[in-house]
Amino acid sequence: MKTLKLRIKDKHATQLNELGWAVNFVWNYVNDLSFKHLQRTGKFFSAYDIATYVKGSGEFLNLHSQTLQAVTETHAKSRKQFKKAKLNWRTNNPKAKRKSLSWIPFKKTAIKYLGVKKSGNKSLKSTIQFSLSKGKKLTIDVWDSYNLALYTINTCELVQDSRGHWYACVVVEEHPKTACGANQVGIDLGCKDAATASNGEVLTTKLTHKYAPKLGIAQRAKNKKRVKAIHAKIKNTRTDLIHKFTTKLVKDNNAIIVGKLQSKSFTSSKLAKSVYDAGWFEIKRQLTYKCENAGCHYAEVNESYTTQTCSCCGSRQNSPKGRTDLGIREWICECGVTHDRDINAAKNILALGLERLAVGITVL
């Protein structure tokens, strides 16, 4: 299982906004009803109990019965997760202090994939149909960069971002299971390059400095719409680069070892901006679920002294040490081998991961 995020064409925004309002109405009703029941009886409503109170309302709200069930299930799950008697109120009012981004859930029985066709020289356009109340249908076009024809759709949620754009978050199952390669790789996370692999592949995600001049102009002009657009551009570009990098690693390797690095230890230093721009959490998050889906081994190891230790002889005599030597990117060990700082660290991380893996294998 994995989730694909596809951009919906803007021509559907008006209809989706109306359905988003209906979903928020159901959420608020369920939220209030559940809280009053708790006050009266001292017990929480389950998703099954709430379903009886919203049954039949889809006819008036133009929502499918499965969508109503998905809203009640999400409410019950969120209330339990955050341990709250009452969750936040959802509103679509643009003048509200805290506007809620719209969200419309659909289950498998209410989704039908109609097909894909080429749009322009490179892009694909897919059409998805969703069932509403009384046999009504919602048909949307999405920019399909993944080619949905290769997958089996399980569930789908239509979500809105802060700029008012809509996306289809589709949970899918792959038809052909992606097989891992027969190699192992170590990953060193850093600030100059977000990630460096032991095989020499490098991921660079430093985008904030690139867009800083445009962002500064928009902020001084107090153009909030432009500021949001630039921040979205930075985030989407970074995520796309990380997706390409992690997907290639998972396809080419059967074991991926990453240095266990906590970004919190750097956020109070001068490196905070570079750390946030690197996206370490997103890299590890993507590798975790992609390795799980592909059957690859994923592990995190303590990366202490991996930069200072020679990956050939194990010596630490001539290596750069501490944050004062961060500018030294290459060094020569006493054994005569020239090391790239990050690649050497990635090789040591891989060795540590393979040692741990070997210890865990029982002798037959």
Dump pLDDT digits (tens) for 133-166. Answer: 888 999 999 988 777 877 888 999 999 988 889 9
Domain boundary among 121, 154, 175: 175
Residues 22 and 52 grouped into a single domain: yes
Q: Which pLDDT band, with edges at 50, 70 and 90, does 259 fall under? A: confident
Q: What local confidence, expressed as pLDDT, does residue 363 receive? A: 40
Residue 364 counted as domain residue: no
CATH of the domain at 247: 3.30.420
pTM beyond 0.75, yes or no: no
The model's confidence at residue 183, banded by pLDDT at 50, 70 and 90, is confident
| pLDDT tens by residue, 80-111 | 888 888 888 888 777 777 888 899 999 999 99
Using one digit for the tens of pLDDT, what is the confidence trace for 307-324?
778 877 777 776 776 655
The answer on 275 and 256 residing in a single domain is: yes
In a shared domain, residues 318 and 260:
yes
Domain that holds residue 355: 184-359
Helix, strand, coil shares, percent, the chain, to 5: 45, 25, 35
CA-nearest of 129, 193, 174 to 340 is 193
Burial class (CB in 10 A: 0-12, 13-18, 19+), 85: exposed
Query: For residue 112, with 0-12 CB atoms within 10 Å meaning exposed, 13-18 middle and 19 or more buried, which class applies?
Result: middle
Q: Are residues 243 and 189 in the same domain?
A: yes
> Is the domain of 41 the same as that of 11?
yes
Same-domain status, 159 and 255: no
Across the range 53-77, mean pLDDT stands at 90
Q: Kindly state whether residues 289 and 352 are assigned to the same domain.
A: yes
How confident is the model at residue 32, as a pLDDT? 92
Query: Looking at 158, 175, 192, which one is the last position of a domain?
Result: 175
Q: Are residues 127 and 188 in the same domain?
A: no
**Which of 12-16, 120-124, 301-305 has maximum average pLDDT?**
12-16
Q: What number of H helices and E strands is found in the chain?
A: 9, 14
Question: What pLDDT does residue 8 have?
Answer: 92
Q: How confident is the model at residue 255 (pLDDT cuts 50, 70, 90)?
A: confident
Within-domain flag for 206: yes
Q: Where are the beta strands (DSSP E) in the chain?
A: 2-8, 103-106, 111-118, 124-131, 137-143, 151-160, 166-174, 184-189, 195-197, 202-203, 255-260, 297-302, 330-332, 338-340
Chain segment 21-53, per-residue pLDDT in tens: 999 999 999 999 999 988 898 888 888 888 889
204 and 105, same domain (yes or no) = no
Specify the pLDDT at position 50.
87
The Cα 67–Cα 72 span in angstroms is 9
Answer with the residue of higher pLDDT: 363 or 5: 5
Based on the fold, state whether residues 166 and 195 are members of the same structural domain.
no
- The answer to whether residues 80 and 197 belong to one domain is no
Lowest mean pLDDT among 59-63, 215-219, 338-342, 354-358: 354-358
The Cα-based distances of 235 to 116, 163, 207, 242 in angstroms read: 27, 13, 9, 11
198 in a structural domain = yes
Residue 315: predicted pLDDT? 73
For the chain, what is the domain count?
2
Decide if pLDDT at 284 tops 50. yes
pLDDT in tens, 230-240: 888 888 888 88
Q: Final residue of a domain: which of 153, 175, 197? A: 175
What does the pLDDT read at residue 177?
39
Residue 170, classed as helix, strand or coil, is strand
How far, CA to CA in Å, does 150 sit from each of 192, 248, 279? Answer: 37, 18, 29
- Mean pLDDT of the residues in the chain: 82
pLDDT at res. 188: 86
Pair 296, 195 in one domain: yes
